[in-house]
């Protein structure tokens, strides 16, 4: 059955790109509500509600940004969206007093830990999911993102290739069922190269970034204190981002996602390609047996990683 949060959860931090302080509260919501953001700092005469949906995404650099028809927006939502999908939250209202979600430690782990500590409430409505029945792909040069049929859960493969020796080529495959997101991906942090930091900050980006909320690489070195949480933390974080961006489909996806050098914009273009082809998917209502394959099914405290 569909779920929501048992009660409200508040997070305080700064935006990764804006550097501005922000307060964000996850509120329970009714069945079939979905996930919406509400800007609490917006004047009462302006529409402050923004749907967390693929068709609300607007072009943005280095993060996922959604906006409504009034132009009210919120950015860097991918980590909290991944946490909601990964813990099995189907309905929530996210109240936020600024234009960017808090970065916290650069991963989804703080969101996941708080959601699991608070717990979920089951609602009296079945879960509906998007079952992929024909392949859909978006490609740009060597980079591509693809959805394939033949999976009873969300499966994912991701490949990255960076010139920095500390990153290099990395690949990982995962079946995102029964807590795998929480155990394997949720604590993997956003990352960048030291050579990119100054350029980003000159362009008004990464103003809230520190060595404590991002993994910074410089050639063969990892500059962030404590080093990596996983040997392949960069590719795991790319999978985390993809999880959050795919959650903007509005329902769980049953199929295989393959990403090669893909990013936020490419995954959103993949969703747009999917919904432009209604013959490529089917909306299915899940019973208890099928729900057991969803990312948030059967979670326990033992699934939480050490950094949560």
Q: Which residues are catalytically annotated?
A: 264
- Quickly tell me which residue has 């040069």 as its tokens: 141
For the chain, strand residue ranges (E) read 3-5, 9-14, 21-28, 35-39, 49-51, 57-58, 65-67, 73-75, 92-96, 120-122, 128-132, 136-140, 143-148, 154-161, 169-175, 191-193, 215-218, 221-222, 253-260, 281-285
Q: Specify the residue for token string 């204190």.
A: 225
What is the side-by-side strand order in the sheet with 73-75? 57-58, 65-67, 73-75
3-class DSSP assignment, residue 87: helix
CB 76 within 8 A of CB 64: yes
CB 106 within 8 A of CB 229: no
Contact (CB, 8 A) for 222 and 166 = yes
Give the total residue count for the chain: 308
User: Terminal CA-to-CA distance of the chain, rounded, Å?
Assistant: 26
Q: In this structure, is the dihedral angle defined by the CA atoms of residues 117, 289, 248 and 39, taken in order, positive or negative?
A: negative
Query: Strand order in 221-222's β-sheet?
Result: 191-193, 215-218, 221-222
C-alpha span between 193 and 15 (Å, rounded): 19
Pairing between strand 136-140 and 143-148? antiparallel
Angle at alpha carbon of residue 278, lines to 272 and 280, rounded to 5°:
90
């Amino acid at each position: 059955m569909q779920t929501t949060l048992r009660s409200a959860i508040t997070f305080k931090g700064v935006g990764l790109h804006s550097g501005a302080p922000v307060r964000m509260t996850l509120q329970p919501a009714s069945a079939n509500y979905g996930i919406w953001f509400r800007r609490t700092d917006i004047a009462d005469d302006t529409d402050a509600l923004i749907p967390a949906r693929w068709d609300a995404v607007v072009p943005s650099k280095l993060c996922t940004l959604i906006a409504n028809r009034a132009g009210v927006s919120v950015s860097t939502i991918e980590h909290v969206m991944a946490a909601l999908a990964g813990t099995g939250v189907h309905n929530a209202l996210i109240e936020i007093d600024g234009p960017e979600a808090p970065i916290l430690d650069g991963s989804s782990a703080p969101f996941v830990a708080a959601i699991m500590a608070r717990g979920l409430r089951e609602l009296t409505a079945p879960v509906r999911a998007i079952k992929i029945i024909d392949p859909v792909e978006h490609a740009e040069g060597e980079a591509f993102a693809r959805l394939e049929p033949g999976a009873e859960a969300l499966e994912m493969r991701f490949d990255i290739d960076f010139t920095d020796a500390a990153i290099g080529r990395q690949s990982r495959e995962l079946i995102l069922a029964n807590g795998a997101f929480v155990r394997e991906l949720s604590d993997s942090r956003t990352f960048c190269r030291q050579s990119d930091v100054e350029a980003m900050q000159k362009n008004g980006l990464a103003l809230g970034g520190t060595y404590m909320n991002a993994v910074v690489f410089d050639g063969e070195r990892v500059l962030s204190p404590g080093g990596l949480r996983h040997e392949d933390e960069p590719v795991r974080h790319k999978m985390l981002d993809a999880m959050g961006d795919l959650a903007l489909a509005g329902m769980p996806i049953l199929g295989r996602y393959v990403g090669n050098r893909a990013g936020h914009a490419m995954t959103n273009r993949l969703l747009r390609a999917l919904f432009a082809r209604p013959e490529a998917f089917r909306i299915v209502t899940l019973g208890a047996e099928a729900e057991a394959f969803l990312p948030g099914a059967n979670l326990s405290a033992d699934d939480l990683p050490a950094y949560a």
